[in-house]
Structure 1
């Protein structure tokens, strides 16, 4: 048998294979997004039964075959049971997991995506953030990781970094007050602009260290919804099960 590999990661999704096996998709720090077969993981007494559930985070021992990996053992650090006990939280977590799986790449550095997912699930479990703010942070930072985010740091017309008071949806960027009469664009408040800038640039461990007032959260939410509706070509299945995100 080939030499084993130890990776740190999270189970994004799982699929039954045959009578007792599972196929799991893992987002890992070392190998990016990979698929692995877990033999006998559906047996009631299998040590891999709980370790192969969505959101399970820890270390996984794998054996590499010709075309796939086999999961041999796992040591789970977090199951996020607080989320699993709440239907609305489960649906929101499923949305985050599905988005991570859609964008995850094999044999790529996905450490930032993994850390974002882990920190977001911790925040979801804590009950300290509104579902809408969690989506705002996760979606904007995911765009940052993908390298496909709006330019909110300098004017798209002149490059100026001050007086950024408008957002131009067609340019996917902000516009300064001097250029707006020619370029157009909708007003964006200083607080909403700062929220975008902070989410895109803050160290990952400080990402969930702020709150937004209701009006600012609403402004950012509406701008983000229009932006993604125009530029995000993929629709996520889990989004259909999400309740209308508000302050609760």
Structure 2
């Protein structure tokens, strides 16, 4: 069966001397894995279009147990990412977690839109990296069914307090009055950080990137979002370690 689609290459692996096995995030089929024969050959038309971080128009053949890419034409290669090692490493981290949480075989337009927006903002350098990282982590988890409950304090329903405490394992928040220090993992959130987190989770797609934070609040938000993602993933991605090493 022939399939025509558009997708972002979020993982690539060399197979043999000249073939590639790629993981592609598509709007209509979700995440799929496909072979691109002779794609490592620089003269092959599929060479650039099947590299990681390339958004491409794909013609695939769906066999019984695998996809074969017959034709691939690049739409956007996000070339500017390769000019900055920090942005490139963050983009690779985005690809790894998107591959982890995106579904297979179902409509995934929201996931693809999120990924493409992330790469667009990284290329332009128009959003601080820490802020962009938090947006992608929390919105991705929301799409995947892990939206935390941060409408109000889980104990007294208070909407805000001088500080709220994001309870990592319980995926909720406690106000200052209800929070008791203990073995449970938590991350402090000042009012600006809590407002930003709510905006990321609850805003319309078109507005999710439309806010700003001070550098200190970005750091606080980034600590909370990363801790929450790692608690669900239950491992630390190698791309995240590399990003921290580069960024620091």
Same-fold status (TM-score > 0.5): yes
Name which of 16, 34, 37 aligns with 1:36: 34
Tell me which residue corresponds to 1:76. Answer: 74
- Per-residue deviation, 1:218: 2.2
Number of residue pairs aligned between Structure 1 and Structure 2 = 242
Comparing 227-236 and 214-223, the one that deviates more = 227-236
Q: How does 1:159-170 map to 2 (within 5 A)?
A: 159=157, 161=159, 165-169=163-167
- Per-residue deviation, 1:38: 0.9
Tell me which residue corresponds to 1:26. Answer: 24
Comparing 157-166 and 231-240, the one that deviates more = 157-166
SS in 1 for 2:151: coil
C-alpha separation in 2, matches of 1:123 and 1:238: 19
Comparing 18-27 and 192-201, the one that deviates more = 18-27
Comparing 201-210 and 233-242, the one that deviates more = 201-210
Please list the CA deviations of residues 67-103 of structure 1 after superposition, one character each: whole Å capped at 9, or x if unmatched.
1011111232210000022222211111111111111
- Per-residue deviation, 1:207: 2.3
SS in 1 for 2:152: coil
- Structure 1 position 174 matched with structure 2 position 170: no
Tell me which residue corresponds to 2:61. Answer: 63
Tell me which residue corresponds to 1:88. Answer: 86
**Inter-CA distance 61–142: structure 2 relative to 1 (3 Å threshold):** same
Please list the CA deviations of residues 178-219 of structure 1 after superposition, one character each: whole Å capped at 9, or x if unmatched.
xx34x5377632211110001112222322222211222122
C-alpha separation in 2, matches of 1:91 and 1:171: 30
- Which stretches in structure 2 are left out of the alignment for 5+ residues? 182-186
- Structure 1 position 211 matched with structure 2 position 212: yes
TM-score (norm 2): 0.87
Q: Is the Cα–Cα contact under 8 Å of residues 154 and 164 in structure 1 kept in the other structure?
A: no
Q: Is the Cα–Cα contact under 8 Å of residues 115 and 204 in structure 1 kept in the other structure?
A: no
Q: Is the Cα–Cα contact under 8 Å of residues 141 and 200 in structure 1 kept in the other structure?
A: yes
Q: CA RMSD in A?
A: 2.4
SS in 1 for 2:120: helix
- Structure 1 position 128 matched with structure 2 position 129: no
Q: How does 1:177-216 map to 2 (within 5 A)?
A: 180-181=177-178, 184=180, 188-216=189-217
C-alpha separation in 2, matches of 1:36 and 1:231: 27
Tell me which residue corresponds to 2:155. Answer: 157
SS in 2 for 1:90: helix
C-alpha separation in 1, matches of 2:166 and 2:27: 36
**Inter-CA distance 97–215: structure 2 relative to 1 (3 Å threshold):** same
C-alpha separation in 2, matches of 1:121 and 1:157: 39
Comparing 156-165 and 91-100, the one that deviates more = 156-165
**Inter-CA distance 228–103: structure 2 relative to 1 (3 Å threshold):** closer
C-alpha separation in 2, matches of 1:218 and 1:138: 15
